[in-house]
Chains A and B, each alone.
Chain A
Amino acid sequence: MREIMALDGNAAVAHAMRQINPDVVAAYPITPQTSTVQTFSEFVANGLVKTEFITVESEHSAMSACIGAAAAGARVMTATSSAGLAFMWEVLYIAASYRLPIVMLDVNRALSGPINIHCDHSDTMGAREAGWIQIFSENAQESYDNFIQAVRIAEHPDVLLPVMVMHDGFITSHAMERVELLSDEEVQSFVGEYKPAMPTLLDVHNPVTYGPLDFYDYYFEHKRQQVEGMAHAQEVILEVAREYEKLSGRRYGLFEAYRLEDAEVAIVVLSSTAGTTKAVVDKLRAQGKKVGLLKPRVFRPFPAKELADALRHLKAVAVMDRSISFGAMHNAGPLYLEVLSAQRIYGGNMPVVDYIFGLGGRDIVPAQIESVYDDLFRILETGQVERLVTYLGVRE
């Protein structure tokens, strides 16, 4: 039976995990992710899933246990955040290069130091080169939906890569909202029974080795194949989204365009802030201002061409980044650098500026987002870009 529940983002994902009923979950608690694995462990204790739930002593061990279980042929999941993700660093790369379809929730949180438990995107942005597919969610509903779709994306024989699903720490993880759940049976039949696409460690008839030495003789070829998995992912993500829409009625793509078709200026921003931006867009549209929003859903693989096509008609674009790529061009944010590269190759030549915001959970309020649209209209009027990178809401 389908249910509509009042759930926070973490509980919504725990319910997705319950309905998927994975073979193995290995996890370690970290704020603000803790309640996901805590809620899921209750499902395990109450016999609602048949999952082998492995409590480990660290995130490094959590991901290592996931890798072992996945290589043995199990459907595997975990969840983490911030320093927990950082502690997994070494093994993140291993999960991707072994082509193991592990699905993980990362609750976006700042990295230390100074010590901070609140939202920004530094954790996943740091992991963007690890070979994982990365999908960002605006709210609890999207996180639930993305998590279920992630299983199918990861396990697709043309992809075989781990998938990271993100939602914003506290803003989404601890905010209770209305979430529409599919029925357990619907989720079960959507993800299907897990049949590993490649021989696994427990397949005695097809013995294989995972993770041997792989020097200058074949390492390069394996990395080249990993690129193919990532290159196929985009079409698979869309295919899975189409099937999910048929089931749920909720539409997902590589990104969401909000009132963008006839917009003159637009903001590109991830996750919960995109939701707040929608409210600002509605307000400014009511005043006759032609503003729009583009919310990337899939960050890895980055949909460069599709995104550039969607932005091509705009006269000015602001990217909002909830992290900094220290030492990159103008110390800009990672999303800005991607959007800018896409523009250079596929896009027009409108000005694109960057706004760094919300680091360490600093509030981002509608008035600030409105000020970004004001800045874009000023660029239109004057034809001048005063600053490529602006720090929004910082004391200087």
Chain B
Amino acid sequence: MGKLIEIRWHARGGQGAVTAGKLLAETALGAGFYFQAFPDYGAERMGAPIRAYTRLSDSPITLHSPVLEPDVVIVLDPTLLGVVDVTEGLKENGVLLINTTEPPEEIRKRLNLEGKNIRIFTVDASTIAIQELGREITNTPMLGAFCVATGLLDLNKIMEQVRKDFGKKLRPDVVEANVRAIQRAAQEVKQG
């Protein structure tokens, strides 16, 4: 891992971006990294666009300001494209990971990123979530795609963390459905 990796999450209230950020942070803790996970609290309500942030580093993080120039942007909800400027501040050679049925090439055109040095990854996390979880909660599958897209954290470690965290409050079959969703998203994510 580089010195400091900054991640911005785009989602709608209720889709689990904050939970995903925290899961990522807890996985980072297990891997010995320093981290921060914090949401952008506004007058949040179900369905409203929200942002959340995660910082990962191999040394203590003293920054306590919002992430302005992320290395990685993760979009949990495809309907945010065109509503929110998801690429705002995204660094050169940064990663843009989107839950969408569209292939990366289409996204590149749609967001005017042709010729720009941004690595685009897409995965249909909504379909995976509906098939595996029975509900369109895309945060866990997106974590699987994140591991593949960035190589920052080990996929098995994320699955372990989900088993540990969700195991405390969810039925075993629901926990395993989440793990399957993570695995599928990791396999199905496309780069372009």
Q: A residues engaging B (CB < 8 A)?
A: 4-6, 8, 32, 117-118, 138-139, 168, 170-172, 174-178, 272-273, 275-276, 278-279, 363-366
Determine which of A176, A276, A364, A366 lies in contact with B38 in the assembled complex, contact meaning CB atoms within 8 Å. A176
Nearest-CB distance from B178 to chain A (Å)?
19
Q: Which residues of A contact B39 (CB under 8 A)?
A: 174
Q: Tell me the complex Cα distance, A77–B68, Å.
A: 38
Give me 13 A-to-B residue pairs in the complex whose CB atoms sit less than 8 angstroms apart, sorted by A's number: A6-B26, A6-B37, A138-B62, A139-B62, A170-B38, A174-B41, A175-B36, A175-B64, A176-B35, A177-B36, A275-B64, A279-B63, A365-B68
Is B1 an interface residue, CB under 8 A from the partner? no
CB atoms of B25 and A6 under 8 A apart: yes
Q: B residues engaging A (CB < 8 A)?
A: 21-22, 25-26, 29, 34-39, 41, 61-66, 68
CB atoms of A272 and B64 under 8 A apart: yes
Nearest-CB distance from A285 to chain B (Å)?
14
Q: Which residues of A contact B38 (CB under 8 A)?
A: 8, 170-171, 174-176
CB atoms of A118 and B41 under 8 A apart: yes
Nearest-CB distance from A12 to chain B (Å)?
13
Q: Which residues of A contact B68 (CB under 8 A)?
A: 365
Q: Tell me the complex Cα distance, A215–B142, Å.
A: 68
| Residue in B closest to A277 when the chains form the complex, CB atoms | B62
For chain B, what secondary structure do more than half of its interface residues adopt (helix, strand, loop), or is it mixed?
mixed
Q: Tell me the complex Cα distance, A275–B26, Å.
A: 22
Given the known inter-chain contacts A6-B25, A176-B22, A176-B25, please indicate yes or no for A273 contacting B37, CB distance below 8 A.
Answer: no
CB atoms of B35 and A177 under 8 A apart: yes
CB atoms of A176 and B64 under 8 A apart: no
Q: Tell me the complex Cα distance, A138–B62, Å.
A: 9
Q: Tell me the complex Cα distance, A272–B173, Å.
A: 41
CB atoms of B64 and A276 under 8 A apart: yes
Given the known inter-chain contacts A4-B29, A6-B22, A365-B68, please indicate yes or no for A176 contacting B63, CB distance below 8 A.
Answer: no
Most buried by A among B26, B38, B39, B66: B38
Q: Which residues of B contact A117 (CB under 8 A)?
A: 41
Task: State the 7 A-B residue pairs at the shortest beta-carbon distance, nearest first.
Answer: A175-B38, A272-B64, A275-B62, A176-B37, A278-B62, A6-B26, A275-B64
CB atoms of A366 and B63 under 8 A apart: yes
Q: Which residues of A contact B22 (CB under 8 A)?
A: 6, 176
Known pairs A170-B38, A176-B36, A366-B63; list 11 more (Cβ under 8 Å).
A138-B64, A139-B62, A139-B64, A175-B36, A175-B38, A176-B35, A176-B37, A176-B38, A177-B34, A178-B35, A276-B65
| Residue in A closest to B38 when the chains form the complex, CB atoms | A175
Q: Tell me the complex Cα distance, A364–B64, Å.
A: 9
Q: Which residues of A contact B66 (CB under 8 A)?
A: 363, 365
Nearest-CB distance from B154 to chain A (Å)?
17
Q: Tell me the complex Cα distance, A366–B22, Å.
A: 24
Determine which of A6, A32, A172, A279 lies in contact with B62 in the assembled complex, contact meaning CB atoms within 8 Å. A279
Given the known inter-chain contacts A6-B35, A118-B41, A178-B35, please indicate yes or no for A172 contacting B64, CB distance below 8 A.
Answer: yes
Determine which of A5, A178, A365 lies in contact with B65 in the assembled complex, contact meaning CB atoms within 8 Å. A365
Nearest-CB distance from A330 to chain B (Å)?
27
Q: Which residues of B contact A4 (CB under 8 A)?
A: 29
Nearest-CB distance from B100 to chain A (Å)?
28
Q: Which residues of B contact A177 (CB under 8 A)?
A: 34-36, 61
Q: Tell me the complex Cα distance, A273–B66, Å.
A: 12
| Residue in B closest to A273 when the chains form the complex, CB atoms | B64
Nearest-CB distance from B175 to chain A (Å)?
19
Nearest-CB distance from B67 to chain A (Å)?
10
CB atoms of B41 and A276 under 8 A apart: no
Most buried by A among B37, B39, B63, B65: B65
Q: Tell me the complex Cα distance, A138–B61, Å.
A: 12
Most buried by A among B29, B64, B66: B64
Nearest-CB distance from A246 to chain B (Å)?
21
Nearest-CB distance from B192 to chain A (Å)?
32
Nearest-CB distance from A35 to chain B (Å)?
12
CB atoms of A275 and B25 under 8 A apart: no
CB atoms of B65 and A364 under 8 A apart: yes
Determine which of B29, B34, B64 lies in contact with A171 in the assembled complex, contact meaning CB atoms within 8 Å. B64
Q: Which residues of A contact B61 (CB under 8 A)?
A: 177
Q: Which residues of A contact B41 (CB under 8 A)?
A: 32, 117-118, 170, 174
Nearest-CB distance from B5 to chain A (Å)?
15
Q: Which residues of A contact B36 (CB under 8 A)?
A: 175-177
Q: Tell me the complex Cα distance, A139–B60, Å.
A: 11
CB atoms of A363 and B26 under 8 A apart: no
Nearest-CB distance from A33 to chain B (Å)?
14
Q: Tell me the complex Cα distance, A273–B65, Å.
A: 8
Q: Tell me the complex Cα distance, A276–B68, Å.
A: 13
